[in-house]
Chain A
Amino acid sequence: MKNKQKNNKQIAITVKNLHITYRGLKKTSIRASWGKLKNKVELFQALKGVSFEVEEGKILGIIGKNGSGKSTMLRAIAGIFSPDKGSIDLHGNSISLLSIGVGFNKKLTGKENIYLSGMLLGFSEAEINKKEKEIIDFADIGDFINKPVKTYSSGMYSKLAFAITAILETDIMLIDEVLSVGDKTFKEKSYNKMKELISDEHRTVIIVSHSLGTIAELCNEVLWLNDGEVKMIGTPEEVLPKYEEFMQ
């Protein structure tokens, strides 16, 4: 059985020669743009030709120092940035970048925000309706679910936000720093939920983190980015010691 699975490995994400440059649409005023033709446009290359593949069900960790292009890459895979060169193929999988409280309207109730946020993530009203109870149960904020979000404490806010993203699952999940929010019990609960989500064998996950402990615990593949280029890719056992050595 295991062998069979190994033979028809399905690729979930293919990134080919990805280049991302910050430039072009630069914030400008009309006055400044008179002389624009003369001014040289500043370029910043965030990613310089990154290629890799992730198999379905694998958990890829991305490490690298600040400014090495990790978050840029996640956002590009999520479709928020467009690649300047190269391509990203998701093979038809649904994808979401786990981020907290997207599209919340603070004057509306928690319940209404579940729908607002969920629809924004590309779910239909019916799908959210099905999961609504589960989200409310998980968030565990009691009667506050029917009160405007602006009355929430910051802990309750992140609990609800986390519940929405965690319960409405997609085929591929992108995680920018593993989230653990709320008080101690909820922290544990959310970390466990996260682990459960991540280790689902059909779900492909990419995690960006600075905590090598988390990476070592959760991931089965590690990609090391340095100044927008792939420095190394391999199992955590191979990559992490070299990375630690390099950082010192």
Chain B
Amino acid sequence: MNRFILNLRKYYKYAVYSAKAELKSEVADSYLNWLWWIIEPICFMLIYTFVFGVVFKNKEPFFASFVFVGLTCWEFFNRMITGSVNLITNNRDLVTKVYIPKYILLLSKSFTYLFKMSISLIITFALMLYQHVPITWHIIFFIPILIVLYVFSFGLGLILMHFGVTFNDLSNLTNIGLRMVFYLSGVFYNITTKLKGTLSHILLFCNPIAFIMNELRKVLIYNKFPSFVMLIVWLFVGALLCAIGVHVIHKNENSYAKVI
């Protein structure tokens, strides 16, 4: 644990710098540049709102905001998981030439995803204002909820990153898994009203993403308190995953260079 904190302190700046560099290079030579960061989430939101709001006639109030909150949360998780699986192999050059604690790579990646998520959040708020969603002070609870999301995704990402080195086809598996979680998280439907009874309870209880998404909507759209107990439980699970991930990586990271 000490080593983790020491390394964080030493490489934190690098992680930030390299995240900035990556964002910069992402838009360096595209025609619309950084506008893509805004256009992309809006387009996805429009597609989902059209398909599930108009085609499937969803009667959810403030449906566009509802979808956008879900998407914001989902995209972050999705990026973290897909990004982490091949992270080491994609950074082959780095890994075989210098020593760097491998979780710093994920940390740096996560910063770029956090940045994209904050843009998406800003659009969410703008959309909520536009749709006249009643806004109360419950809204501030979105911060602790996102922290839980971050810790959980980071922990899971660390573990996947480790196994991604040795298993070539882990990315196929995670893609299937992610697709399933996507449909079971209620990005475009309300789990509590669409799925009645035990099924919704099971989903919200076992699927952290569904749970976090639901909590986010509770505080942002429905002006309710989040369920603090469950948030703490998932924070604890996330922290545990992080601890396991850091431990596994400390133990194995120097062997990665031999494999890839």
Contact = CB atoms under 8 A, between A and B. Distances in A.
Per DSSP, chain B at the interface is helix
A72 B93 CA distance: 16
B166 A25 contact: yes
Interface string A114-128: 011001111011000
Interface string A43-73: 0000000000000000000000000000000
Contacts of B96: 75, 80
A15 B110 CA distance: 37
A108 B24 contact: yes
B102 to A, nearest CB: 12
A201 to B, nearest CB: 26
Given A27-B168, A105-B25, A120-B98, A75 B257 contact: yes
A81 B254 contact: yes
A79 B169 contact: no
B134 to A, nearest CB: 44
A102 B99 CA distance: 11
25 contacts: A25-B255, A26-B259, A29-B169, A30-B169, A30-B173, A78-B99, A80-B95, A80-B99, A81-B254, A81-B255, A96-B98, A99-B97, A102-B97, A102-B98, A106-B25, A107-B24, A107-B28, A108-B21, A108-B25, A108-B28, A115-B17, A119-B13, A119-B14, A119-B17, A148-B28
A80 B97 CA distance: 7
A103 B166 contact: no
Interface of B: 10, 13-14, 17-18, 21-22, 24-25, 28-29, 93-100, 165-170, 173, 252, 254-260
Given A103-B93, A108-B25, A116-B21, A27 B98 contact: no
A119 B14 CA distance: 6
Given A105-B25, A108-B28, A97 B166 contact: no
A133 to B, nearest CB: 19
A81 B173 CA distance: 29
A44 to B, nearest CB: 10
A142 interface: no
A75 B97 CA distance: 8
Contacts of A169: none
A82 B14 contact: no
A105 B94 CA distance: 11
Contacts of B100: 120
A27 B165 CA distance: 7
A105 B173 CA distance: 30
B17 A25 contact: no
A79 B99 contact: yes
B29 A107 contact: yes
